[in-house]
Amino acid sequence: MTATRADALWNRKLVLRAAAQLFAAEGLEVPLGRIAQRAGVGAGTVYRHFPSKAILVEAVFAQHLDDLVSAADRWTARSTPGDALFGFLFEVIEKCAQGKHLCDALVADRSWPHATFAAAARRFGEALDRLLHKAKHAGAVDANLRVDDLNALIAGGATLHSAHPSPDRGTRLVWQLLDSVRRIGVTKDSRLRDDERPESCAECGSPLRVKNTGRPARYCSPACRQRARRRRLVS
């Protein structure tokens, strides 16, 4: 790859990143001049890559979905099927809550999807379907669960997460929402055995880092452990 080509690709990446940040923070009315300024490039560079605002918005949406497809692959590689599906769903919900303007615009604009976004949306749907299929095969979710059910769950979870005044409690509620479709085995002993390691923090609901040895962790951080201890002392 020539240096000129590499510079062009880098500039395009800078513009997409700047546009995504500004759209998420301020909405889609941000002028291209401000996007160029945030990216550290000239306005001409923006127009060379994205001849119109609509093309830039579509490219940001498509990049957002492609990043999520990559996240789905990472979850598949590092987790069990059930953990991969629910960890991915939480990541999607969290990012949608952070980029509410993007998600709202996507739902509200009936002219979408265009060709570029349609291809990215198809890749996202296929990645979600793969995770769901593996989770069903592992018995982690109900066999009747469908991808459109998960899309509705994502939309509802993002609204719940962004609407709650407490980020920690919003996170916990999202995990409770996701747990509503999780198939959990029932055991006679309610105490946690070594082979029944919890998947989420007992205080805030965040995913726990899996350890193969030692006592299973119940909290994701010392802060959550301390909050739980204070709650027990008060109750």
User: Could you state, in chain order, the average pLDDT of each consecutive group of 10 residues for the chain (235 residues)?
Assistant: 79 94 87 94 92 90 92 95 95 84 58 76 93 96 93 90 89 92 55 45 64 58 69 50
Q: Which residue range forms the structural domain that includes residue 17?
A: 1-51
- Rounded Cα distance between 136 and 183, Å, is 10
Q: Are residues 22 and 108 in the same domain?
A: no
Q: Are residues 152 and 83 in the same domain?
A: yes
CATH of the domain at 9: 1.10.10.60
The structural domain count of the chain equals 2
Q: What is the pLDDT of residue 16?
A: 94
* Cβ–Cβ under 8 Å, residues 75 and 54: no
Q: Is residue 94 part of a domain?
A: yes
| Rg (the chain; Cα; Å) | 21
Last residue of a domain, one of 167, 183, 199: 183
pTM score of the predicted model:
0.71
Q: Is residue 198 part of a domain?
A: no
Q: Are residues 70 and 142 in the same domain?
A: yes
Instruction: State the sign of the Cα–Cα–Cα–Cα dihedral 162, 168, 172, 173.
Output: negative
Q: Is residue 195 part of a domain?
A: no
Q: What is the pLDDT of residue 192?
A: 35
Q: Which residues contact 54 (CB under 8 A, 6 or more apart)?
A: none
Q: Is residue 200 part of a domain?
A: no
Q: What is the pLDDT of residue 108?
A: 56
Q: Which residues contact 161 (CB under 8 A, 6 or more apart)?
A: 93, 94, 97, 170, 171, 173, 174
Q: Are residues 33 and 63 in the same domain?
A: no
Q: What is the pLDDT of residue 214?
A: 46
- Rounded Cα distance between 226 and 232, Å, is 10
Q: Are residues 160 and 61 in the same domain?
A: yes
Q: Are residues 46 and 63 in the same domain?
A: no
- Rounded Cα distance between 70 and 95, Å, is 14
Q: Is residue 227 part of a domain?
A: no
Of 38, 32, 127, 143, the C-alpha closest to 89 is 127
Number of H helices and E strands in the chain, helices first, is 10, 0
- Count of beta carbons in the 10 Å neighbourhood of residue 215: 9
Last residue of a domain, one of 166, 183, 200: 183
Q: Are residues 14 and 68 in the same domain?
A: no
Q: What is the pLDDT of residue 115?
A: 84
CA angle centred on 207, ends 202 and 208, rounded to 5° = 75
CATH of the domain at 151: 1.10.357.10
Supply φ then ψ for residue 138, to 5 degrees: -85, -5
Q: Is residue 67 part of a domain?
A: yes
Q: Are residues 44 and 63 in the same domain?
A: no
Indicate the SS3 state at residue 207.
strand
* Cβ–Cβ under 8 Å, residues 98 and 171: no
